[in-house]
Amino acid sequence: MKNLQFGKNDSFQKILQSLKESEDSEINLSVEEGSPILSNPTLIEVIKRLGLRWRKKFNFVSLPQFYSPPTEVAPPVIAPPVATPSAALPTVPPTAHAGFVVGKDVAAEKGWHEARETTSFFKRIKLNKILRNKKAVYLGFATLALIVLASLVALLPKAKVTLYVNSKTLEKEVSLAGSGKIENVDLETSTLPLKSLEESLSDTSRAKTTGEKLIGDEAKGRVTVRNYSPLADRTFPAGTKIKPGSIASDLEFTFDSPLTIKAASISAEEGTIVSGKAAVGITAAKIGDEGNLAASTRFTVNNEPLTSVDAVNDLAFSGGLSKKVQVVSSSDQTKLLESLSETLKKKGETQLKSKVIEGLTLLEKSMEFSISNKKFSANVDSEAQELTLTLEAKIAALAYKQDNLKAILEFSLKELIPEGYKIEKLDSKDETFNKKEEGTFEIITKVTIYLTPEVKEAEIVKKIKGKSLGEVKGFLESQENISGYEIKISPSFFAFFQRMPFLSTKVNLEVESK
């Protein structure tokens, strides 16, 4: 036990601070006579109640006779002050250091914050009583655990239910009209709206040339043409052909210019005929050194007899030469064009198919490939070892929406579709595509229709949620259009409860065809 003494001028805050900081559980509190605290029952009551909160016992050594300390069993009832003559009680001046000032909240000052909690004192006493009741605590924890468990069971489990149904197939050859002029399907006339797709293409390709060509120069020279006829002069135009008369060859030469030869003259003295003569330049008809003939070669002129007219070269012909070179052949151009066209066409088909979004089907037989421009690097017979081709082209095709075809088939073949079945998907093949007029086409195709039983998924989920697996299995097995099923619950821990999730959003239902 500790003794604490305070003077009559010590403030109420100082006393409270000292009591709180003391480590003893029981304290004798002595206050000098004349202190305003001793004359104020409210302050004494506050000290007592804070003592209970701090689990300390305060004993007042000097107490006024009218004050009755509270018992520890129940909080004391404070009676209002009894009016007595002013001489019986000391007067508390307003400026006294009692810890209170008119118009000021001492609870806001440092060291006084504990006093603010006196209003919750009784509430804390009630909480302590509840905590002492172990049964109530256990019951609360059990209730909380059940709430948490129920939340987990409702929110965490998921179920994937796969239903297997038996599908049917129908095959039918159908004839449809297709039109690029309409946007909506026409069920009455079975007219399918068609969408035009187009791609511009360009590419360059190279190939080795395979042609051969003989190039070179023709032999040239001069001949003297002799006219043996005394009857008349002879005139020959440019291009007149002469041939070597003594050589078995197909060599030919031509006059470079026109030529006139005077008639032959007769010598009376000698009794001989002197031929008329004239010289002219000649050029071989073919290139090559075969035309480089030796001097004194005799030639026939224009296939006439040598006795009538002939030609002879005084000097050997020269300049004739030839060699083989690689050139562009017409076959080279044709093959390169076909090869690059096929490459561009395949490229265009791939690009068109890539533009076909989900739900569209491309009519492959409607594809049209056209060349808009082509340019070869060399012409036929031009000397070149490699040929280059730059090609520009376009490819176009028509496409239709599968939903539109499905609508036409459902309308036109509704009598063939069994009751309770629906079209799952369509496959078409062996298309015949005929152009009727501008923008209008006839489509004949073999269609395979895959039918599946109608399953009302939302209704099934509503009926199986929250049900035991036994109930779910019994329900699914009673459905005529369901041939099998598979149920997976996750996380696997919840499979122990053998029950479907309680929320529809936690049940994932899928339908697969067999």
CA 73 to chain centre: 79
Nearest C-alpha neighbor of 500 from the set 457, 448, 460:
460
Is 57 buried (19+), middle (13-18) or exposed (0-12) by CB count in 10 A?
A: middle
How confident is the model over 405-423, as a mean pLDDT?
80
User: What is the mean pLDDT of the segment spanning 348-371?
Assistant: 85
The pLDDT of residue 123 is 53
Quick check: 504 pLDDT over 90? no
More confident residue, 138 or 391: 391
Sign of the torsion angle spanned by Cα atoms 485, 490, 495, 497: negative
**Percent of the chain scored above 90 by pLDDT?**
29
3-state secondary structure (DSSP) of residue 354 = helix
Q: Is 8 exposed, middle or buried (0-12, 13-18, 19+ CB in 10 A)?
A: middle
CATH architecture entry for 217-318: Beta Barrel (2.40)
Highest mean pLDDT among 72-76, 128-132, 387-391: 387-391
pLDDT of amino acid 353: 85
Domain boundaries, the chain: 2-126, 197-209+328-397, 217-318
Q: How high is the pLDDT of residue 133?
A: 67
When mean pLDDT is compared over 365-379, 394-408, 421-435, the highest value belongs to: 365-379
Give me the amino acid identity at 335: K
Mean pLDDT of 261-275: 83
Question: In 3D, which of 423, 430, 424, 422 has the Cα closest to residue 447?
Answer: 430
Residue-level length of the chain = 514
- 154 contacts 140 by C-beta, under 8 angstroms: no
Between 281 and 66, where is the model more confident?
281
